Structure 1
């Protein structure tokens, strides 16, 4: 966003050099990326009056003008055919220096002398439209330097405003920041609004959640024309192309106040009312950029019998204001930021208006914006003004926060005097009432990002000056031994997995809805209130989506053998509460044993991921674990991992449907487990177990059982049935010749040992 210092000085006195002002804003959170200096126009560029026109001289397609500066006449050749006698135009005399760097020289063309040049808006640097003339209005200006009217001399800041600060997307917002930073008062007042006549107009809002407030006014007998030069020049410095007086005024109000507006040609609406509703499936609209757009119920529109604008994003071509317009409907509304953001993303259409509505406009500003726009329209385009129509079915109350001054020291690590932080907060229009030791703080409606005491401390910190907070490595709170212990235990687990050949990764905990929904097992996704984009709008419910993304990234770059793991938080919402859980997850892709002489090639399989999970459990001192096969949407082959009979996660072969989301063709064997049982196991006190003094006996046994009987059930039965069993494992599984139908052969190796005697064959 661009801010003009010459324009902002209308509201607040500025004496600091631009560079120091830029640093002050940057350090307070409104980063100034670039400082642009605009020099004044050359004094040899003046305002001249056309006294005579000789068309098609000195040749066809040109005209010979005689222009006057009030003292003498000048001969000028021009290729623009639309000049009229009496027009006031910018005229560059011989030797005048243009913003493009060129110098105007007296020259002869087809035998006729041209003493200078009548300048277009392009030649003045106000637009990129060739041959678009600039007209002035007052006869008293003839002979004066154009700079005295357009005030081109300026310093412009190009700012990078963070998504949570919509209030800074305006000149008033930056003036408010400077008020707090400089300790000076900014002044912004509006004239009383007095309608010229009473009119009638219907506003219907289908869903107040989509559009909590809609305000408008009707202006009749308006003269839509070219904007005055000062406005064209100002808008060009701020990166906006001049259209006509009405559209330019709505753009100026947006840049000045931060509140987007839209103007409809009222006669083209052909309606005495409008409806704010969701679009119908495949409904069409041609927007003012000439593009036909297909709509859906996720997009909000302004409509009569059909859509005439995409709410908060762009108006329709059919009702666009032009120089033929005689009546205007001036719209000023507050739209739901989420609805506007979703519509903008679906259409791939981002505008200055949508950028502001997406972040959260000020619901209290709709009437003020109309008042400011009508002030300007009266001065520039005239007209008769109706009363303001205002539909506010669901009033948005201002946020009131209980603030404890002790939080300043606790969170910033420094003490800020009470009178100082009160002055800083009042500077940005926070209203404060002291109630004993605490303060009741009323947050202004233009600050939707402030909703807690910590946010107020942040405001104090950035305005007080982050550079004024000394570096201090001491702890501002307690570092409890348990948190440090947990950190060390997490590190131990990570080192164990790394020792097994896994590589640790750290991925983003936010992503897009379509990637996360298939991994949601319980509850609902946690949506971020003010995301930077739809790709980063939800908190992850599982670690596996981002691990899969890393796998895809590597596979597409010829890194085909992978063992990855991550330890991190997952998030979900259930029964109106948020559940945050630490989990451990991993993935195995490619070859367990690569092609190599003396060894046989083998790819990772189900038992490799099962072995990794069991190895982790044994490392943490967990012995009572088991696996239970089950069906799962995430895995084509899946088993739950149980500790003491309770499922703590699952592992298996990731399904083809899940892999297709991330464009993965290779097989992925993955696991994801709740991490707390492993941490708790590591915390338990470990005791030394004496080395066995007596030898063990191993026996192998083969059993023919029903195919429905799992090996896990038999393993558990063997362990529980005989106290002398030290270890048992499955070493063979056979279905085929010699085995009855519906049966299978399972072979187990059983190790027996006694700690007080030597076992004999008979025992």
Structure 2
């Protein structure tokens, strides 16, 4: 919110300097982000009038002007040589007299005006443009002043250039501070200085024409007011004082009617809209848009509408985006003669986030989505009407005012004892009551308690803490004592069987991966394609159109990070993320840390792309594959041993994907990106990815001490012929399943399949070489016991998988 200090002081003028006023606003919660002068320092520049203008005898683009500068022209008009195209007789412009100091240039030094000679003609000063005074970037000609500007008056005094521009950084709850009057009301409460309360005298109707308005959606619009004004002059010139104030609020002048609407918005925080009455077909209908409708806005964009957006329509088409921007078809123009002035109360929830759908924002939408006072729509239309008649003329009609459901002012109780405890200093009931009176809040008193009814302009007062905050900031944060907080400190010791999330991060980073942090809201396409989620959780108010749903898998975020790196010529990418995902789950109840119906488990996911190692002379380059990343997962889970079972995942290659099992539970997947998605996301090679449940990864086995074996282990190698359908995991598990406990391990160390089927290894079979390790803790193994254990292992493999010894 930007505004000039002088406009604020017209409503409330406390005995404070500019710096003190800025400090007061900041300490009250309305942070002054920037304060700067309206104009840079300069001096010696006065109002002057060109009384003669002749062509320069030696230059085609110069004119020799004689100017009257009032007291500065005691000896007659001053001769000034000027090259501005608009230098003509009768206009009043700024004159830099001899000795004047112009604003500093790029070197930071002021420029002094001296008597000069241009092409043989002396010049006793300089006529100035707005750019030369650094009032704007306009350098197309001299800065023309109103014809009633007093000759010889200092230009700083005439244009009020010693004013200061304040820029406030308001939090979303301070909607009542989005106007000059609203800020003045705050200053009055903070300082006790009198507030100039405006009075809106009704404008007498001169005709009885009304525009029919039907409100079909009470959840969109709570109040709709308007009136017809006929016979206006849209070509009227906006007064200079209004143009100046709008410019100092950061708003350029458009036309008289548009400027009036914008002026009242900055003055009282009331967005309004002025329709060209003759372009409206029939009456107006306030409703939710219908799927497929379109609207061409005032900014020239044509947008597609849906049922989530409110509109104002007539009998033929949509004419305005409710609370955000008007439409082009009913915009006022130089041909407008009859207008309809509209001011409404739009429910904040019905406006919030709608403009971001169309990648723009407006001052009106910014105010309506935070809350605009619904009580003064009629009064503000009276004010707009009076300004229209003063500037553009016209005859006003009767006021129409439809009211539906308006915000209910629910009483809020302030306990004085509670306020003292929260603020941290003793506060009396009278002090609390004084603050509420200064803020204009109505209340009733009881012993140790005040019951406040929030006014219509305060949308931020809903709970007791809101009132406590008001008491603290109005009394002054500088009064709060500097009391250090006291709280018991209790060390939280993590159980030994669980490692922290940061330990998991360090473990993944030690494997060569770099951590990334991504948004939890993602493109809906990622959810459909990479997570197989046809019904993702949608974000009601997305910060950008693509980030419209909550992710149920981290893989989409990592693929996007990969694409970002590849677009910057990265050849080798190793990234991971530890973050939450969001899934629908009806069993989840609402609590302080959960949302009803939504599960939010944490995941750790990684992605590897490119060569296994950085290019070097000692090792041949090899692209990362499934087994490389499988090894990383095994290292991450160590010393726990996971089982990898062939599986399918929406994001992964059907034949190069495995489910990761731990203690009989599937905790995630590892695999290569599906060829379909590699092509869809335009990746030169397929990355290998994994995604695991963080809680399962954090669990670890507590080390248990065991004595060093006193006996020596026996090792035997077996070559077993089995069908190709038998996996080595199943075979080694069967070999280890020794009832006597002698077989301690079974490790596959070779696979053999002949080029052509043989008698020993027929078609569809292969030879798996397994090393068995046998040990008895209590006695030395004899050859007979070893042979018996091997025979039993072979027998188990034969019974379970049809295995036989090779040869």
Indicate whether the TM-score tops 0.5: yes
Q: Look up the match of 1:273.
A: 284
Change (3 A) 1:502 1:156: same
Shift of 1:704: 2.4
Q: Look up the match of 1:11.
A: 11
Q: How many angstroms apart in 2 are the aligned matches of 1:124 and 1:494?
A: 55
Shift of 1:366: 4.4
Shift of 1:663: 6.0
Larger displacement relative to structure 2 (483-492 or 323-332):
483-492
Is contact 2:352–2:541 with CA below 8 Å preserved after alignment? no
Q: Look up the match of 2:661.
A: 642
Q: Look up the match of 1:219.
A: 229
Change (3 A) 1:473 1:259: same
| Number of residue pairs the alignment of both structures matches | 744
Change (3 A) 1:106 1:494: closer
Shift of 1:370: 2.7
Larger displacement relative to structure 2 (399-408 or 373-382):
399-408
Q: Look up the match of 1:377.
A: 388
Q: Look up the match of 2:704.
A: 687
Scaled by the length of structure 1, the TM-score of the pair is 0.77
Is contact 1:23–1:32 with CA below 8 Å preserved after alignment? no
Q: Look up the match of 2:672.
A: 653
Task: Give secondary structure in 2 for the equivalent of 1:568.
Answer: strand
Q: How many angstroms apart in 2 are the aligned matches of 1:430 and 1:593?
A: 69
Shift of 1:363: 5.3
Larger displacement relative to structure 2 (456-465 or 154-163):
456-465
Task: Give secondary structure in 1 for the equivalent of 2:788.
Answer: coil
Is contact 1:40–1:152 with CA below 8 Å preserved after alignment? no
**Aligned 1:235-384 pairs, distance under 5 A:** 235-278=246-289, 281=292, 283=294, 285=296, 287-289=297-299, 291=300, 293-297=302-306, 301-304=311-314, 305-335=316-346, 344-345=355-356, 347-357=358-368, 361=372, 366-367=377-378, 369-384=380-395
Change (3 A) 1:583 1:476: farther
Is contact 1:126–1:233 with CA below 8 Å preserved after alignment? no
Q: Look up the match of 1:696.
A: 713
Q: Look up the match of 1:755.
A: 777
Change (3 A) 1:502 1:43: closer
Task: Give secondary structure in 1 for the equivalent of 2:619.
Answer: coil
Q: 2:179 aligns with which of 167, 170, 181?
A: 170
For structure 1, which runs of at least 5 residues remain unmatched after alignment? none
Scaled by the length of structure 2, the TM-score of the pair is 0.73
Q: How many angstroms apart in 2 are the aligned matches of 1:667 and 1:435?
A: 72
Larger displacement relative to structure 2 (215-224 or 470-479):
470-479
Is contact 1:730–1:746 with CA below 8 Å preserved after alignment? yes
Shift of 1:8: 1.0
Task: Give secondary structure in 1 for the equivalent of 2:601.
Answer: strand
Q: How many angstroms apart in 1 are the aligned matches of 2:418 and 2:524?
A: 36
Q: Look up the match of 1:627.
A: 644
Q: How many angstroms apart in 1 are the aligned matches of 2:461 and 2:534?
A: 28
Is contact 1:249–1:373 with CA below 8 Å preserved after alignment? yes
For structure 2, which runs of at least 5 residues remain unmatched after alignment? 104-110, 587-595, 790-807
Question: Are 2:427 and 1:417 aligned?
Answer: yes
Q: Look up the match of 1:590.
A: 610
Q: 1:672 aligns with which of 681, 686, 691?
A: 691
Larger displacement relative to structure 2 (4-13 or 628-637):
628-637
Q: 2:601 aligns with which of 558, 563, 581?
A: 581
Q: Deviations over 1:616-662 (max 9, x none)?
A: 3334xx45x43333322222243332333222222222335656787
Change (3 A) 1:469 1:192: same
Q: How many angstroms apart in 2 are the aligned matches of 1:732 and 1:164?
A: 70
Is contact 2:286–2:310 with CA below 8 Å preserved after alignment? no
Is contact 1:725–1:751 with CA below 8 Å preserved after alignment? yes
Shift of 1:675: 1.8
Shift of 1:251: 0.7
Q: Deviations over 1:562-619 (max 9, x none)?
A: 4333333334554443433332222222222445444343332222322322333334
Is contact 2:576–2:605 with CA below 8 Å preserved after alignment? yes
Q: Deviations over 1:461-517 (max 9, x none)?
A: 776767777888866576561579999733333333333333344445455655566
Is contact 2:644–2:658 with CA below 8 Å preserved after alignment? yes
Q: Look up the match of 2:47.
A: 45
Is contact 1:151–1:230 with CA below 8 Å preserved after alignment? no
Larger displacement relative to structure 2 (687-696 or 393-402):
393-402
Provide the aligned C-alpha RMSD in A. Answer: 5.4
Shift of 1:128: 4.2
Shift of 1:228: 1.9
Shift of 1:252: 1.0
Change (3 A) 1:454 1:266: same
**Aligned 1:69-148 pairs, distance under 5 A:** 90=92, 95=97, 125=135, 128=138
Question: Are 2:25 and 1:25 aligned?
Answer: yes
Q: Look up the match of 1:189.
A: 198
Q: Look up the match of 2:591.
A: none
Change (3 A) 1:321 1:596: closer
Larger radius of gyration: 2
Shift of 1:324: 4.2
Q: 1:159 aligns with which of 168, 178, 181?
A: 168
Q: Deviations over 1:386-432 (max 9, x none)?
A: 344445555444577677888879988x4473656776677666777
Shift of 1:250: 0.8
